[in-house]
A = this chain, B = another copy of it.
Amino acid sequence: MSPHPAPTAPRPPLRVALAGIGVVGGGVVRLLETNRDLIARRAGRTIEIVAVSARDRHKDRGIDLSRYRWEDDMDALVAADDVDVVVEMIGGADGSALTLARHTLGAGKALVTANKAMIAHHGLDLARLAEETDTPLKYEAAVAGGIPVIKAIREGASANEIARVYGILNGTCNYILTQMERNGASFADALAAAQAEGYAEADPTFDVDGIDAAHKLSILAALCFGTRLDIGAVAADGIRGLIAADIREAEALGHRVRLIGMAERNGDGLYQHVQPCLVPADHPLAYVPGALNAVVTEGNFVGRLFFEGAGAGAGPTASAIVADIIDIARDEYGPAFAMPVDSLDAAPVADAGARIGKHYVRLIVEDRIGVLAEIAAAMRDAEVSIESFIQRGTDEEDGVVIVLVTHAGPARAIHAALAILAGSDHVVSTPMLMPILAL
């Protein structure tokens, strides 16, 4: 009943071409060289790099590429008769990465990519192309680096209706947040430290504003819910607005601050939001340290699954890329989003305001008579029920820090209260609003 060749039949090598040899590409070369024999045993055939291509042939990459054919033109990888799989590690949602991906799949060759931006923006088109040419399209490395979470959801949890998927999808932000936790550092100082350590880029926008996490979340949501990938429907708030007091007050409330990407089925709609959240101390996400990533799924039979590991870096990313290549070598693959593109649902965007939950609100206000009454009135008028109210009496951040925790209620109410307070002369800076993760 199996489509697989009999185990005695020797299988020809799987021939791989690498496009884009940066940090990750170097990791893939090293991995395929270091673990060559082991991989051949597991894949049932050898996996051979036959050609490489990148922009600058003469750049020192710290690895010996001389044994592989060099192509200045990436399209030559697609055209070559001796290439079965093209690995795209160029990056960027569009441009030459997308062109190469389209040409590869169009030519009926397998594509492996680590490119979350490209998958988030063009994943459906690429998956359709892969279906038309009956070709594998694999992207394990695009989400949560070395954690095999695409496989865990697509296959491991495939029997379950998933209620929600969420996690720590950006290691840079988690590194910054755990630095703020440990040292009481400001966001700016923690970011500078992360940049010095190589955990954050000179321009950190993609990471700290939640864009990178949004790309990954949109991919997870499509897989979990069988919905059409829709990056435009993902709301993203980053961590720039956090101050040291937020981390401290969260801790005092028995929580930790994490940048959480959350996708949830909400009636007929789909809620997708990346934002800083308060995570209870008895939730495993509260213990994810440094630059690690972690993903949680909640299935109707399996319950909660939790996966943690390195979300970036040459080794972990190469591990995910080569796992995809091994799947292809074994002929163990199927539709990129677990089912044909045409059978994915177009879920409407959920009404985020209707979402029920507890919230953390931090305000910085002027230290004068009447401010407290103003805040209390805004909450009352917006029908926000307050569980706790903390004013420590210290003056920092050019004002007094006030922290509210609401009872569970619709997000819309708290937004309305903040809209009222936005008109106040006494609220010094933009309030910080964080959902409190429900277990």
- Chain A residues engaging chain B, CB cutoff 8 angstroms: 1-4, 6-7, 27, 31, 34-35, 38-39, 41-44, 84, 108-110, 131, 134-136, 140, 146-148, 151-152, 155-161, 226, 282, 284, 287, 289, 299-310, 315-316, 318-323, 325-327, 330-335, 338-340, 343
Judging by beta carbons under 8 Å apart, are A156 and B323 in contact? yes
A7 touches B131 (CB 8 A): yes
Q: Considering the complex, give the chain B residue whose CB is closest to the CB of A150.
A: B156
In-complex Cβ contact of A323 among B6, B31, B38, B159 (8 A): B159
Closest chain-B Cβ to A92's Cβ sits at a distance in Å of 24
- Chain B residues in 8 Å Cβ range of A340: 7, 44
Question: How many copies of this chain?
Answer: 2
Contact sample, A vs B, 7 pairs, CB 8 Å cutoff: A2-B136, A39-B159, A42-B338, A155-B155, A299-B319, A300-B315, A305-B307
CB-nearest residue of chain B relative to A288?
B284
Contact between chains at A148 and B155 (CB < 8 Å): yes
Q: Which 9 A-B pairs have the closest CB atoms?
A: A148-B156, A159-B322, A302-B319, A146-B302, A3-B3, A301-B315, A306-B308, A305-B309, A301-B319
The reply to whether A304 and B300 form a contact with Cβ atoms under 8 Å apart is: no
Do A303 and B308 have beta carbons less than 8 Å apart?
no
Task: Check B157 against A319 for contact (C-beta < 8 Å).
Answer: yes
Q: With the chains together, A135 CA to B3 CA distance in Å?
A: 10
Contact present for B300 and A159 (CB under 8 Å)? no
For A226, give its contact among B38, B135, B308 (CB under 8 Å): B38
Q: Which one, B2, B301, B315, contacts A134 given CB within 8 A?
A: B2
Q: List residues of chain B with CB within 8 A of the CB of A136.
A: 2
Interface centre among A4, A31, A319, A343 (most CB of B within 10 A): A319
Are A300 and B108 also in contact (CB < 8 A) when A157-B319, A159-B326, A305-B309 are? no
A331 CA to B207 CA in the complex, in Å?
A: 38
- Given contacts A44-B334, A304-B309, A315-B303, whether A1 and B135 have CB atoms under 8 Å apart is yes
* Identity of the chain B residue whose Cβ is nearest the Cβ of A35 in the assembled complex: B161
Report yes or no: B331 in contact with A316, Cβ–Cβ below 8 A: no
Give complex CA distance A158, B318 in Å.
11
Say whether A303 contacts B299, CB under 8 Å. Answer: no
Q: Are B2 and A300 in contact (CB under 8 A)?
A: no
Task: Provide the bound-state CA to CA distance between A159 and B42, in Å.
Answer: 9
Contact of A335 among B7, B151, B309 (CB under 8 A): B7
**Alpha-carbon distance between A385 and B318 when the two chains are bound, in angstroms:** 42
Q: A159-B318, A284-B287, A301-B322 are in contact. List 13 more A-B contacts (CB 8 A).
A: A3-B3, A44-B334, A146-B299, A148-B156, A148-B157, A155-B323, A159-B321, A159-B323, A159-B326, A287-B287, A305-B309, A306-B306, A332-B334
Identify A300's interface contact among B35, B307, B343, CB under 8 A: B35
Q: Is the CB of B3 within 8 A of A226?
A: no
Q: Considering the chains assembled together, what is the distance between the CA atoms of A318 and B327 in angstroms?
A: 25
* A339 contacts B35, C-beta separation under 8 Å: no
Contact B307 A307 (CB under 8 A): yes
Per the bound structure, the CA–CA distance linking A135 and B7 in Å amounts to: 11
How far does the alpha carbon of A334 sit from the alpha carbon of B11 in the complex, in Å?
A: 14
Least CB distance from A335 to B in Å reads 7
Report the bound CA distance from A3 to B159 in whole Å. 24
Least Cβ distance of A126 to chain B in Å?
Answer: 15
Query: Contact at A334–B4, with CB atoms within 8 Å?
Result: yes
The complex places the Cα of A84 from the Cα of B289 at a distance, in Å, of 46
Contact residues in B for A307 (Cβ distance below 8 Å) = 305-308
A113–B332 CA distance with the chains assembled, in angstroms:
20
With the chains together, A158 CA to B320 CA distance in Å? 9
Complex Cα spacing A331 to B301, Å: 23
One of B34, B157, B303, B332 near A332 (C-beta < 8 A): B332
Q: Tell me the minimal C-beta distance from A147 to chain B in angstroms.
A: 6
Supposing A1-B84, A308-B284, A309-B302 touch, asked if A148 and B152 sit within 8 A by C-beta, the answer is yes
A301: shortest Cβ distance to chain B, in Å? 4
Q: Shortest distance in angstroms between A95's beta carbon and chain B's nearest beta carbon?
A: 27
Closest residue of chain B to A341 (Cβ to Cβ) is: B7
Query: A360 CA to B155 CA in the complex, in Å?
Result: 41
Among B148, B159, B289, B308, which residue has its beta carbon within 8 angstroms of that of A35? B159
